[in-house]
Structure 1
Amino acid sequence: MDQRGELEPWQWPEEHWRQLVNQARAGRPLRPKSWPGGARCAVALSFDSDHETNELRDGGKSIGRLSWGQYGNRVGVPRILDLLDRYGAKATFYVPAVAALLYPDEQRRVVREGHEIGIHSWIHELNSVLPYEAERDLMFRAADVLEEITGVRPVGMRTASWDFSPNTLRIEKEYGLLYDSSLMADEDCYELLLDGVPTGIVELPVEWVRDDAVYFMMNRFSSLRPYTPPEGVFDIFRREFDAAYEAGGLFQLTCHPHIIGYRSRIWILEELIRHAKAKGHVWFATHAEVATYARDHAEATAETAR
C-alpha cells in the first residue's frame, strides 16, 4: 500500500492535495453580456428520466420501487411535455441508456417536440466506483443507444447522481463532449480544466438547492423522508430564478419526472415558468443551446474578471 494512502489529510504533502483539487477544475467564466434576443436571463430546465434505473443500479428488485420508476414514464414525462408545450419552453432530458431502451417512444417524442436528450449513464451507475475502462465503455455505449433510438448524437452529459470520478472529464474529452452538467463551482457556465489544462468543455453547473429530489425523495426502508412542503420548494426555486434574473445570468433547474410529476407538485414547475415569462426578456433553451451560446459569446474580459 502506498505510504501516502496511510497519511491523514492534514499530513498530505502539497503536491498530493493540489493534484486532487486539479483533477477537474473551473476555468474561465463563460457568462455572456446578454442572451439571445437581448434576453436578460437564460432558463435551462432539465429532467433526469431515471425511471426504473434508480432501483436497478444497486441490484434492487423491489417491485414497488420499480413501479415508481414506471410512473415517471406513464405519467411524469407526458405531463411535463404537455406543460412545456403549453408555454413554448424548451428543456433537456437526461436519460440512462437502460431507461431509453425500456421506453424508446418516450425519447422519440422528447426529440420530436424540440427538446434535447443528454447522456446520463448506462444504468444510473456511480462513476466513482468504476475503473477507467468500464466507465468509458458505459458512457460510449450509452451515447450509441441514445443516438440509435432518437437519431441524434448527444452532445452533453450529466453523471448519475452528479458522481464524478477522477477519469470522467478525461473520458468526456475523448468523446468530444460539448458540455457537462454535473459540477457545482459556479452559478453560470465556465470552461472545465483537466489537470490545469483547458478542455474546451463547457460546464453548465448544477446545485442541490435547485434539485427537486432533495426536498421530495422518499424511501420507506431508510430514514429518507420528504421534509419540505411544495410551497417552500417553489419559494426556493423562485428566489433562485429572481437572483439569476437580476444578475443577468443563468437559472438552471434539475427535476425528475417520477418526483415533480405528481398533481400536487407539477404546479411548482408551471408557476415557475409563468413567473419567468411574466418578468419578460427570458430565454428558455436546452442545455446544449445555453452551453453553445455561452462558449461563443463570453465577454472578452471574462478571463481576468476573477
Structure 2
Amino acid sequence: MTHDTLKQTLEPWQWPEETWRAKVNHTRAGRSLRPAHWPDGARCAVALSFDSDHETNELRDGGKSISRMSWGQYGARVGMPRLLELLERHGVKASFYVPAVAAMLHEDEQRRVIAEGHEIGIHGWIHELNSVLSYEDERDLMLRSSDALEKITGVRPVGLRTPSWDFSPHTLRIAKEMGLLYDSSLMADEDCYELMLEGEATGVVELPVEWIRDDAVYFSMHRFQSLRPYTPPTDVFEIFRREFDYAYESGGLFQLTMHPHIITARSRIWILDELITYMKTKEVWFATHAEVAAYAKANAV
C-alpha cells in the first residue's frame, strides 16, 4: 500500500498534521478588500443577485420530472419578467448567475438582462456539482459556459458563482487562469476579500454569500425528499432587513441571493419590493457584483 493510499484510508482523526493543514489552507481568505468608503458618500453597498437556474435544477442530476422542470420554467416565464419590471421600477441594477444550458433555453431573457444594464455571471454548464469533476472537465465546462454566455449576450462574464456554491479544489485555479475578476460562492467574511490559493494571493476577489441571505433555504421544497422547509414571508423579510441594518450601521456590504422561481411567487415578491423600498431610504449604493468587486479591489484600505 502506497503512502498516499494509506492516507486516504485514514479517518480524519487519524490524519497527520500536514494533511489537515493542507486541506484547510488550499483555498483561503486573504487580505480584506473592504474600502474605507463607498461611492458618492454611500454608507453601505447593496449587491442583489439572482441565480437563474430554471430547468437545470432538474436536469443536473439526470432528472426527468416534467413537474420540476415546469417549476423551473416558471422562473423564466413568470419570475424573470416580474423581477426585471420590479428592478426597472426601482432603478436598481443586479447580477444574474445563469447556467449555460438555461441561457441557451432562454436566450432572449439573457439579452434583455444585459440590455437593461444588469450583469450576467458564470453559473456552471448545467448546474453541475464542481466537486465531482476532474480539473480538465471543470475547466472545459467553465470555459464553454463563458463562451456560451458571451455568444448570446455579446458580453464576456467577469464573475463566477459555482452551482450550489460547490467549490472544488480546482475552481479557484481555473478562475485565475480565466482571468476572472471575482467569485461569489464562499463564506469566509461578510465583506470582500482576496482569495488565496495554497498560500499565494490570486488577485481574485471574493464577494461572499451566506445561506442566511438566500431565499432557497426558507422556501425550497422537494416532494420526494425530506426537503420541505417553510418560513413565513414576513419572517424572511425581517431576517433580510436585519442583515441589511447591521451591514448599513457598520458601513459594509449587503449581499443577497435569490432565485426567480422562488422569490417571485405572489405571496413573496413583496419581500424584495419592500426591502428595496426600505433600503432606498438610506444612503446606499446599489451595484452589480462586478461593480462592487472592482471598487473594493481598487479602494481597499
Q: TM-score range by the shorter chain?
A: over 0.9
Work out the CA distance in 1 between the residues paired with 2:273 and 2:32.
31
Q: Quote the sequence identity (%).
A: 77
Match of 1:78 among 81, 98, 110: 81
The answer as to 2:212 corresponding to 1:209 is yes
| Equivalent residue number for residue 284 of structure 2 | 282
| Shift, 1:226, TM fit | 2.9
Q: Which ranges of structure 2 fall in alignment gaps of 5 or more residues?
A: none
Alignment partners' CA distance in 2, 1:171 and 1:23: 14
Letter in 1 for 2:290: A
2:159 corresponds to 1:186:
no
Match of 1:291 in 2: 293
Aligned partner of residue 234 in structure 1, secondary structure: helix
Q: In the TM superposition, what is the alpha-carbon distance from 1:18 to its structure 2 partner?
A: 1.0
User: Does 2:127 align with 1:124?
Assistant: yes
1:9-39 alpha-carbon deviations (Å, 9 max, x no partner) = 1221111111101111000001111100010
Structure 2 CA distance, aligned partners of 1:200 and 1:22?
17
- Secondary structure at the counterpart of residue 58 of structure 1: coil
Partner of 1:22: 25
CA distance in 1, matches of 2:278, 2:245: 9
In structure 2, the residue matched to 1:58 is 61
Partner of 1:5: 8
Displacement of 1:224 in angstroms is 1.3
The structural deviation recorded for 1:243 is 0.3
User: TM-score normalised to the size of structure 1?
Assistant: 0.97
Q: Give the length in aligned residue pairs.
A: 298
Letter in 2 for 1:282: V
Q: Which residue number in structure 2 is paired with residue 46 of structure 1?
A: 49
Q: Deviations over 1:151-204 (max 9, x none)?
A: 000000000000000000001111001000000000000000000100000000
CA–CA separation in structure 2 for the residues paired with 1:55 and 1:209: 24
2:201 partner SS = strand
Return the match for 2:117 from 91, 114, 118. Answer: 114
Give the aligned partner of residue 67 of structure 1: 70
CA distance in 1: counterparts of 2:279 and 2:264, whole angstroms: 20
* Distance in 2 separating the partners of 1:226 and 1:126: 22
Distance 1:205 1:293 in 2: 15
1:224 equivalent to 2:227? Answer yes
Q: Which residue of 2 aligns with 1:93?
A: 96
SS at 1:199's partner residue? Answer: strand
Q: Secondary structure at the match of 1:274?
A: helix
Residue 172 of structure 1: SS of its match in structure 2?
A: helix
In structure 1, the partner of 2:261 is: 258
Using the TM superposition, give the Cα deviation of residue 227 of structure 1 relative to its aligned residue in structure 2, in angstroms: 2.0
Local SS of the residue matching 2:281: helix
Q: Which amino acid aligns with 1:162?
A: W
Partners of 1:193 and 1:32 lie apart in 2 by 19
- Residue in 2 that maps onto 1:304: none
Q: 1:244 aligns with which of 243, 247, 252?
A: 247
Amino acid at match of 2:229: P
Q: CA RMSD in A?
A: 0.6
Q: CA deviation at 1:225?
A: 1.2
- Write the distance in 1 (CA, Å) between the matches of 2:131 and 2:154: 30
Q: Secondary structure at the match of 2:196?
A: strand
Q: CA separation in 1, counterparts of 2:11 and 2:77?
A: 50
2:124 and 2:10 map into 1 onto residues whose CA distance is 33
AA aligned to 1:179 is: Y
3-state SS of the aligned residue for 1:81?
helix
